[in-house]
């Protein structure tokens, strides 16, 4: 398809598509002549991912470029490729290691990973921005007087492990390695609001079942 059709099918203006091409967010099309290029379904799919990252996820262009570079790096195995892409997404600030709540939270998070048998997560903890985010969140609860320890978190961890299995089952329905990583990255940006909304709806439902509506 030509640029105009790509714009029409994606809902992205030609000017924005050209900007994405210049910034390296979208791979160049197949050159037909000096002024015309052809684009395929992979460009349409990538445009949707770029828009998800930037418009929905609020990811800066420079960060989106880094994420997509990992998505396209077929020299990496799937696990490393996926992990690198997800770690490149915006993360929470570094925890204050001098804060006693952070120290206590780190202890509980490490106990949690041991209880769940998540050996890879334990090994990667010093490098993982996701691990740091969990420590920051648990520390905030500790400061507010909610002792969110490993025993409290373990059932949630088990439920989220089932969610992760379903995520990867869905990812594996796509054909190419790039598509698999793309859908995982898109899910990290777009599916989190779905999980959050389902959680709140479930809380509302359970509250009514237990306590009624009066």
pLDDT at 181: 81
Of 181 and 157, the structure prediction assigns the larger pLDDT to 157
- Taking the C-alpha atoms of residue 8 and residue 37, their distance in angstroms, rounded to an integer, is 16
DSSP H helical ranges for 14-118: 14-22, 41-51, 61-71, 78-87, 100-116
What tokens does 188 get?
Answer: 């990290």
Contacts of 59 (CB under 8 A, 6+ apart): 53, 67, 89, 90, 189
- Taking the C-alpha atoms of residue 42 and residue 27, their distance in angstroms, rounded to an integer, is 9
**Mean pLDDT, residues 13-29 taken together:** 89
Q: Which domains does the chain have, with CATH numbers?
A: 3-87 (1.10.1660.10), 104-211 (no CATH)
Query: 50 with 64: CB under 8 angstroms?
Result: yes
> Where would I find the beta strands (DSSP E) of the chain?
30-31, 37-38
pLDDT surpasses 90 at 207: yes
pTM: 0.75
- Taking the C-alpha atoms of residue 206 and residue 183, their distance in angstroms, rounded to an integer, is 32
pLDDT bin (cut points 50, 70, 90) of residue 177 is confident
Neighbours of 102 (CB within 10 A): 21
pLDDT surpasses 80 at 74: no
pLDDT at 104: 93
pLDDT at 35: 75
- Taking the C-alpha atoms of residue 49 and residue 54, their distance in angstroms, rounded to an integer, is 9
Q: Which of 1-5, 15-19, 102-106 has the lowest mean pLDDT?
A: 1-5
pLDDT at 162: 94
Task: Look at strands 37-38 and 30-31 and give their pairing.
Answer: antiparallel
Query: Residue 94 pairs with which residues in a beta bridge?
Result: none
CA 176 to chain centre: 19
Helix axes 61-71 and 41-51, enclosed angle (nearest 10): 140
CA 167 to chain centre: 11
Query: Residue 31 pairs with which residues in a beta bridge?
Result: 37
What tokens does 40 get?
Answer: 């395929």
Task: Express each pLDDT in 78-130 by its tens digit.
Answer: 777 777 777 777 777 778 888 899 999 999 999 999 999 999 888 888 888 88
What tokens does 3 get?
Answer: 């640029």
């Amino acid at each position: 398809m030509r640029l105009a059709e790509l714009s029409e099918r994606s809902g992205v203006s030609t000017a924005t598509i050209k900007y994405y091409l210049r910034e390296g967010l979208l791979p160049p099309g197949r050159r037909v002549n000096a002024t015309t290029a052809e684009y395929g379904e992979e460009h349409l799919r990538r445009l949707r991912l770029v828009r998800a990252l930037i418009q929905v996820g609020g990811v800066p262009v420079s960060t989106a470029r880094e994420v997509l570079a990992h998505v396209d790096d077929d020299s990496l195995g799937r696990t490393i490729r996926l992990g690198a892409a997800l770690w490149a997404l915006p993360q929470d600030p570094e925890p204050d290691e001098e804060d006693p709540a952070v120290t206590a939270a780190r202890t509980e998070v490490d106990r949690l990973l041991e209880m769940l048998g998540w050996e890879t997560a334990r090994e990667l903890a010093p490098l993982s921005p996701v691990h740091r985010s969990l420590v920051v969140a648990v520390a905030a609860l500790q400061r507010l007087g909610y002792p969110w320890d490993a025993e409290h978190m373990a059932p949630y961890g088990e439920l989220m492990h089932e969610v992760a299995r379903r995520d990867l089952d869905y990812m594996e329905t796509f054909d190419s390695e790039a598509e698999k990583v793309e859908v995982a990255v898109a899910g990290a940006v777009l599916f989190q609001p779905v999980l959050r909304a389902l959680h709140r709806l479930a809380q509302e439902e359970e509250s009514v079942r237990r306590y009624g509506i009066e």
